Structure 1
C-alpha cells in the first residue's frame, strides 16, 4: 500500500493527525512525541509495510514484535521491549485517528487516491459520537488489553524502589515470619506493612493483637477471602471500630498473593471508571469494600477484557500503575 501514497499526502495526513491530537488529547504532555513516533515505521524499515500496521489488533501486535527485534539490534535502545511498547501506544492512537476519520486504513487509502493533499488538510474531523455509557471516557486511558498489561508489567520491573520493597516483604512474610501465632512476629509484619504502604495504622500493637486473636493461619492457607473484612475491623480502646480494609488486603496478599488481590484507591478508581465506560460488570461503589465482591469484580474484569492469562497480582500491578498515572491524588 505504501507506494500508492506520495510524500505530499503523508505530510497532509501528519498535519491532520496533529490537529486530531490537539483536539482530542490536549491534556497530554507528550503530543509532539506521539506525533513524531506514529510515523516511525514510515521513515524506517521494520519489516512490515507502514499501512499494514494499522489494520487491526493483530497487525499492531506484529508491528510491536518486529520493533522489539529491530531495537534489540540497535545499541541506542537499552530496553528494546519497553521501547517497543511505547511505540505500540502511539500506534494505537494513530489507528484510532484513522478509524475515526476514515473508517479504516483502507478507507484512507481510497480517499487519498482520489483527493489531493489540500483537501485532506482542510477536511473537518468530526468526533465519533459516544454512547451514553461512554460519555466520560478519556481517550488517554486505553482499553485494557494484553498489550497494555504487558507494558505496565514491564514498567513495574523498572521501579527499583518497589521491586526492592516487594523483595523485602517476601522475605519477611515467606521466610522470616510465615506464621501468625506469635505477637512479636505479627507486630513486625504489621509495622513494616504500615510503614511501606502508609496505611495509617496508629496502633500497630492493637492490630497485631486482633490478628492473633483471629487465629488466621489455617484460613489463610485455605484461601478464605472472608477473612479480609474480619481482619480489617478492629475494636479500639475508646470503643470505636476502625476499618483498616486496605491494610487487611495487603496483609493477606503478602501471605498468598495469588488468592488475595490488593485493594488500593487507585485500583478502586480504575474499576469504577471501566465499569462506567465499558460496563464490564454491574456493581455498586461500596461493593468494592466488600472483599468477596471485590475479588469477584476483579475476576469479571479479567474475563471481560480477555486477561485471564494473567494472575490477580499482575492485574493489581497494572491497575495500580495506570490509576496512579491517570488519576493522581490531589493533595
Structure 2
C-alpha cells in the first residue's frame, strides 16, 4: 500500500503527527525521536508494508518481532530486543494517532487518495480536546489541591501503619528480593502478594505470572516504557476470554519504578474526574483514564495546573488516593 501514497502526503502526515505529539504528549521529552522513528518502516523495509504495521495490536507485535530479526542480522544494535520494543512504543503512539484522527489506516489511505496534501488540514482529532464538560459547583468539603494539602495527606499516609508496613514489605520484595522478572516462581510471588494486599481480583495468579514472563518486561521497565502497562493488563485466559487487569498492571509496574509508573485506582479516577469537572484543569474523557499513556499525562497536567512541582507522581498518587477514599467512599 505504500506506493499508493505520495511523498507529499507523507510529509503532510508527518506535520500532522508532529502537532498531535505536541498537543497530546507534551510531557514526553523524546517527541522528536518518536516523530522520526514512527516512519522507520517507511524508510527501511522491515518485512512488512509500512501501513500494515499500524492496523492493530497483532500487527504491532509482528512488526516488533521483524525488527528484532532485522536488528540482529544487521548487528547494528547492542540489544536488538530492547531496541525493537522501543520502536514498538513509538508505533503504538502513531497507530493511536491514525485511528483517533481517521478511524483506521484504511480510512486514512482513502482520505489521502481523495485529497491533495495542501488540502489536508493539520488538525489532530483527539478525544480529550473534543470532549467538553460543563463546570460543576465544588463541594465545600473537598479542598482545592495545593502543596499544603498534599503535604497534609503525605503526613497522614506515614501514620497509616498498615499501609506503611504493606508498602515496606512490597518494596523489599520488588526492589531487593526479586527485582527481575525472568523466573516464574519469583514473578508468581510478586503477583500473589499484590493481589492479596490490594485485592485486585486476580483469580488466576499463575496465568498472569506466565503472561508477564512471556512479555519479557525488564528492559521495558528500566526504560520507563508506559505502553507496557496495557500489555501486562490484557491477559487471555484458558477459557478463551480476555481479561483486562488494568489497575493491577499499574501497581505491578509502579512497585518496580514508582516515579515512572503512577498507580491507577478507582479513588484516583474519581478525584481526577471531580477536579476536571470543577476546575477544568485538563480536557479528557472518562475512557482516557483507562489508557495508561493518557492517564499518566493527565496526572502530569494535574500537577502543573495546581502548581505541585514540589511533589512527584508517587506523592500525588498517595494524596489523591487518600482524599478520594475519604470524600468519595465506595457504597457496598
Q: Same fold (TM over 0.5)?
A: yes
Cα deviation, residue 253, structure 1: 0.1
Which residues in structure 2 correspond to 1:116-131 (within 5 Å)? none
Task: Determine the C-alpha separation between the residues in 1 that align with 2:297 and 2:331.
Answer: 29
Cα RMSD (Å): 0.9
Partner of 1:288: 289
Cα deviation, residue 136, structure 1: 3.5
Partner of 1:201: 202
Partner of 2:55: none
Which residues in structure 2 correspond to 1:163-312 (within 5 Å)? 163-312=164-313
Task: Determine the C-alpha separation between the residues in 1 that align with 2:247 and 2:136.
Answer: 30
Output one character per residue of 1:147-173: Cα deviation in whole Å (capped at 9) or x when no partner. Answer: 000000000010000000000000000
Aligned to 1:281, what secondary structure does the other structure show?
coil
User: Scaled by the length of structure 2, what TM-score is found?
Assistant: 0.60
Task: Determine the C-alpha separation between the residues in 1 that align with 2:200 and 2:270.
Answer: 17
Which residues in structure 2 correspond to 1:73-152 (within 5 Å)? 133-152=134-153
Partner of 2:328: 327
Higher RCO (Cα < 8 Å, 6 or more apart)? 2
Output one character per residue of 1:179-217: Cα deviation in whole Å (capped at 9) or x when no partner. Answer: 000000000000000000000000000000000000000
Cα deviation, residue 133, structure 1: 4.3
User: Scaled by the length of structure 1, what TM-score is found?
Assistant: 0.60
Task: Determine the C-alpha separation between the residues in 1 that align with 2:156 and 2:171.
Answer: 20
The answer to whether the 8 A contact 1:275-1:281 is kept is yes
Task: Determine the C-alpha separation between the residues in 2 that align with 1:148 and 1:184.
Answer: 41
For structure 2, the residue ranges without an aligned partner over 5 or more in a row are 1-132
Aligned pair count?
200
Task: Determine the C-alpha separation between the residues in 2 that align with 1:136 and 1:323.
Answer: 17
Task: Determine the C-alpha separation between the residues in 1 that align with 2:168 and 2:319.
Answer: 18
Partner of 1:162: 163
Aligned to 2:277, what secondary structure does the other structure show?
helix
For structure 1, the residue ranges without an aligned partner over 5 or more in a row are 1-131
